[in-house]
A and B are shown apart, each in its own frame.
Chain A
Amino acid sequence: MNSLWVLLWWVVILVLGYWVYASHVAKRVFEVDPNRATPAKMYMDGVDFMPTNKNVLFGFQLNSIAGAAPIIGPIVALQWGWVPALLWLGLGVFFIGWVQDFSSAMVSIRNDGDTFGALGYKLISPRARKILLTFVYFYLLLIACAFGHVITKGISHNAALPFPLLVVIAVAFLVGHMIYKAKTNIIVTTILAIALIFFSIWLGTVWNIKLSYNLVLICVLIFGYFSSILPVWRFIQPYNYSSVYVVYFGIIAGVIGILIGHKPMTLPAFTAWGTKIGPLWPLLFVTIACGAISGWHSLVSSTATSRQIENELDVRPVAGGAMFAEFTISIIAVIVCATAFADKAEYVKNLKNPVGIFVGGLGGAITSIGLPVSYAKALAGMMIIILALTIVNLVFRFMKVATAELLGDAIGIAKNPHLATIVALIITWVLVKTGTWLYVWVLFGGANQLMAGFALLLVTLYLVQKAKPYNYAMYPMFFMYVTTVCALFYTSFFKLIPAAMAGKKVFGNLFAAAVAILLIILALILAYDGWKAFKRLKSGEAGEPAEAAKAEA
Chain B
Amino acid sequence: MAKKKNEKKKKSGGIVGFLRDFTYGMATHGMARHALKTRSSMEHLFILITMGDMLGIPILPPYYSLRLLPHVVPQITTWKRRMLREKDFVESMY
Which residues 232-246 of A have a CB within 8 angstroms of B? Answer: 232-233, 237, 240-241, 244-245
List chain A residues, Cβ under 8 A from B33.
47, 304
Shortest Cβ distance from residue A397 to the other chain B in the assembled complex, whole angstroms? 8
Which residues 69-89 of B have a CB within 8 angstroms of A? Answer: 78, 81-82, 85-86, 88-89
Given contacts A45-B78, A118-B86, contact A241 B24 (CB under 8 A): no
CB of B91 within 8 A of CB of A60, answer no
Chain B CB within 8 A of A449 CB = no
Which stretch (A50-58, A73-81, A363-371) binds chain B? A50-58
Q: Quick one: which of B25, B28, B31, B82 contacts A45, CB cutoff 8 A?
A: B82
Given contacts A43-B81, A304-B94, contact A56 B25 (CB under 8 A): yes
Chain B CB within 8 A of A115 CB = yes
Complex Cα spacing A48 to B88, Å: 13
Q: Among the interface residues B17, B21, B38, which one has the most CB atoms of the partner chain A within 10 A?
A: B21
CB of B78 within 8 A of CB of A59, answer no
Q: Quick one: which of A59, A237, A302 contacts B23, CB cutoff 8 A?
A: A59
Shortest Cβ distance from residue A496 to the other chain B in the assembled complex, whole angstroms? 29
- Residues of B near any A CB (own CB < 8 A): 12, 17-18, 21-31, 33-40, 78, 81-82, 85-86, 88-94
List chain B residues, Cβ under 8 A from A526.
none
Given contacts A45-B78, A46-B40, A55-B17, contact A63 B93 (CB under 8 A): no
Complex Cα spacing A304 to B28, Å: 15
CB of B82 within 8 A of CB of A48, answer yes
State the interface size on chain A (CB cutoff 8 A): 46
CB of B40 within 8 A of CB of A133, answer no
Given contacts A55-B18, A59-B25, contact A303 B93 (CB under 8 A): yes
List chain B residues, Cβ under 8 A from A46.
36, 40, 78
Which residues 105-141 of A have a CB within 8 angstroms of B? Answer: 115-118, 129, 133, 136
Chain B CB within 8 A of A548 CB = no
Chain B CB within 8 A of A338 CB = no
List chain A residues, Cβ under 8 A from B38.
233
CB of B27 within 8 A of CB of A244, answer yes
- Interface pairs (20), CB distance under 8 Å: A45-B40, A46-B36, A47-B36, A50-B36, A55-B18, A59-B22, A59-B23, A59-B26, A62-B25, A63-B27, A63-B29, A117-B89, A117-B90, A136-B90, A237-B31, A241-B28, A244-B26, A299-B94, A303-B88, A303-B90
Chain A residue nearest to B79 in the complex (CB)? A45
CB of A59 within 8 A of CB of B82, answer no
Chain B CB within 8 A of A44 CB = yes
Complex Cα spacing A232 to B30, Å: 11
User: Beyond A62-B26, A233-B38: 20 further Cβ-contacts under 8 Å?
Assistant: A43-B81, A46-B36, A46-B40, A47-B37, A47-B39, A48-B82, A50-B36, A55-B17, A55-B21, A56-B21, A56-B25, A59-B29, A60-B25, A63-B25, A116-B88, A118-B88, A136-B89, A240-B30, A303-B94, A304-B94
Complex Cα spacing A115 to B90, Å: 7
Complex Cα spacing A45 to B25, Å: 20
List chain A residues, Cβ under 8 A from B17.
55
Shortest Cβ distance from residue B41 to the other chain A in the assembled complex, whole angstroms? 9
Shortest Cβ distance from residue A92 to the other chain B in the assembled complex, whole angstroms? 24
List chain A residues, Cβ under 8 A from B90.
115-117, 136, 299, 302-303
